[in-house]
Amino acid sequence: MGEFIVIIAMMMAMTALSIDIMLPAFPAMRDYFGLNDANAVQLVITWYVLGFAGGQILYGPLSDRYGRKPVLLVGLIVYALGSVVTFLAPDFESLLIARAVQGVGCAAPRVIAIAMVRDMFGGRRMARVMSFVMMIFIMVPVIAPSIGEGLLLFGQWQWIFLFLLTVSLLLMLFTQLRLPETRASEDREPLSLAWLVKAFATTVGTRQTLGYTLATGFVFGCLMGYINSAQQILGSLYGLGSYFPLVFGIITIALALAAMTNGRLVERVGMRRLSHAALVGFFAVAVIHVVIAVSMPGPPPLVVFCGLLALDLFCFGFIMPNFNAMAMEPLQRIAGTASSFVGCLTTGGAALFGWVIGQQYDGTVLPLTGGYAILSAVALVIVLVTEKGKLFQSLHGEASP
C-alpha cells in the first residue's frame, strides 16, 4: 500500500513540478526572448495547463480499454519528447508549443493516478488515500521553486527542462517495474465513439459529478491565478528576489498541513462537512483579503499578504481531494473516462481563470485577491445548487465499502 501511494503521488506531482519549477526562471526567460509584455511569460504556464487539460480526454478512455500501465507509459514518453523540444526551442512561440506537448503527455499520470485509486478504493477510504497522496504530492510545490533556483545558479534556464526529462525517465522505470495493473481484463470497456458519448453523457448528467467538477474548476482557477502572478508579486512587488522560492515554499506548507489533517479527519467527519466548511472559509478569507487590499494605499504588509494567502491555501487543501473524490464517487464503472472528462473540465477552466487573473496584474495585489473572492463565491453557489441548498450533510454513500 505504501509503495503504491508513493508512486501515485509521484505521478500526480509531475504537473506541480512542471509548473512551479519554472517560476524562478521567469525573469531570465523574459530577457532571453526579449518579451516586451511583462505578463507574457505567464503563457509558459497557461499553454502547459491547456495541453494538460486537452490531453486528459485521450488517456481515460484509452486506459479503460487497454489498461492503465501501457497508456501511462505512452503519456510519459510524450512528456519526455516535449521536454527535449523545450530545451531546444529557438523562440518563444516554439517553447509554448513544446510546453503544450509536455502538458498533453503529463495528462496521463494525472488521469491514470486517480483512476487507479478509484479502481482500488471507494467512498471515504478513497478520500483518505487521496489525502495521503496529496500529502506527498503537495511537498513538490514547496521545494520545486528552490530546485529551479538551484539549477539557475549552475546553468541556464534550459537546464530546468533537462531535469524534468530526467524525472520523467525515472518515473517510467518505476512504473514499469513496481506499479501494478489495476484494471482487470474483464472490466475493460470497448473503445467506440458511441461509448464515449454515452460515458460523457453519464459524467455530465450525474448531478454530483458535474457540480463538484465545476466547483473544483473555479477554486482551482484561484490557485492558477496565484501561480501565474506569484513571481511578479513576491519577487518584484515585494522585492524578495532570490528569496522568492523560499517564501513561496513556506506559504505552500499550508497545503501540506491541510492534506495531513484531512487524511486524519475525513473518515470520521465526512467529505462534505470538511470540504464545505473549507469552501466557506476560503471565501471568507478572500473577502477579508480584498477589504485589506482596497483599504491600504500600497500593498499590504508582506506578513499579512502571505498569512492570508496561506489560510486560503490551507482551505484549498481540504477542498481539492474531497471535491475530486465526490465528483468521481458515482462513476466507478467508467472511472478512467470519467477522470478524463472531470480533469479536462477542471484544469481547462482553471487555466482560463488563472490566465485572466494573471493578465490583470498591474503592480498591485488587488487582481489576485479580487479573483479569489469572485471565483470562490461562484464555487460556493455551485455547491449550494448541487446539494439543493444543504451544506455539511454527511451522506450514507460516503461510508467506506
Model confidence over 169-213: pLDDT tens digits?
999 998 888 888 887 777 776 777 887 888 889 888 889 999 999
Residues in Cβ contact with 65 at an 8 Å cutoff, skipping those fewer than 6 apart: 188, 189, 190, 191
For residue 148, what pLDDT band results from cuts at 50, 70 and 90? very high
Average pLDDT over residues 314-333: 87
Average pLDDT over residues 322-333: 84
Task: For residue 17, give Cα distances in angstroms to 12, 27, 138, 168, 382.
Answer: 9, 19, 10, 11, 30
Model confidence over 37-96: pLDDT tens digits?
888 999 999 999 999 999 988 887 888 788 889 999 999 999 999 999 999 999 999 999
Rounded Cα distance between 376 and 395, Å, is 24
Task: Say which CATH class 2-388 falls into.
Answer: mainly alpha
